[in-house]
Structure 1
Amino acid sequence: MIELKPTFGLNQLLFGMKEKDVKSLYGQPNLNFKDDEGNIIWVYNELKMRLTFYEEEDFRLGYIICSHSDATLFGNQIIGKSIEEIQPILSKKGINSFEKEAFDIQTNFFNEENWIIFQVEFDEIIKIEIGAVVKNLDEFDWKFKA
């Protein structure tokens, strides 16, 4: 099971972990590279998961993208559902407001307070992105304490 935990991470992964911490849980990634901003990106094919370690934050895990069909949120499978199907689940957890942005056939539903994005195509959620949240104006709320 792959449980997404907004503001915290995914399964045992916690925002704020370093590469060595993630490697001890999941082993070597299938792919790793640096993006245009110098962040380190790790990809795990089997989990359909992409992790971003922020360069400006001493390469702490700050962002997770998951498109695995078994991904769950608050105990509910998410991938393949419509945004309307999951809104009552989210509402019960206090996640109510979304900025909606459309690109071609894809629509993103973004909740900044919990830094979660649902990517929708053909009326189905195809990908979920979660990130570490900022607790002060310029400081992340790291959940992993080294």
Structure 2
Amino acid sequence: MEIKPKYGIGDFTFGMKADQVVAKLGKPDKMYQDEDDENQVLYQYNQHKLRLTFYQDHDGKLGYIRCSNPKLQFQGKPVMNTPIDKVKDETFSSLIEEWEEEDYDFFVTYVNEENWIVLNVEYDEVTEIELGVPVKNDDEYDWK
């Protein structure tokens, strides 16, 4: 699975509808409504280690992706279970120069809002990546 900043991961691009995803992957292993935001419906695919969030207030479009699939790559380079310094300084260096770091005691997140990418890190290795649909301005998404 290839990370495509501002577009999605693999065949899953921002703006897709749930039925398009189901046509590719089948019925999700788990489907639930976000407790904090009732306008978001999440599909989880265990085998692919993939969670997809559909924004109901935007015609049910795919707007957020979380993935911990060990085959996840960016420009052919592995991301999962790779040391964070290597991912920041080598893998994403052609795209991202600066990351905002937030330390939560036992895990750390590295965020780049321009590309709306979050790297979740435990034990100094990337354990999950989050991608969000880019924002044009304060209240409008860039659905490409």
Aligned length: 141
Q: Does 1:17 align with 2:45?
A: no
State how far apart, in whole Å, the 2-side matches of 1:123 and 1:18 are. 35
Match in the other structure for 1:138 = 139
Report the identity percentage: 39
Partner letter of residue 89 of structure 1?
Answer: T
State how far apart, in whole Å, the 1-side matches of 2:26 and 2:142 are. 25
The list of structure 1 runs, each at least 4 consecutive aligned residues, that deviate by more than 4 angstroms after superposition, is none
Q: 1:91 aligns with which of 65, 90, 93?
A: 93
Match in the other structure for 2:44 = 43
SS at match of 1:42: strand
SS at match of 2:53: strand
Partner letter of residue 27 of structure 1?
Answer: G
SS at match of 1:135: strand
Q: Does 1:116 align with 2:121?
A: no
Match in the other structure for 1:100 = 101
State how far apart, in whole Å, the 2-side matches of 1:58 and 1:104 are. 38
**TM-score of the superposition, structure 2-length normalised?**
0.93
SS at match of 2:137: coil
SS at match of 2:86: helix
Structure 2 residue runs of 5 or longer lacking an equivalent are: none
**TM-score of the superposition, structure 1-length normalised?**
0.92
Give the CA RMSD over aligned residues. 1.1
Deviation at 1:4? Answer: 1.5
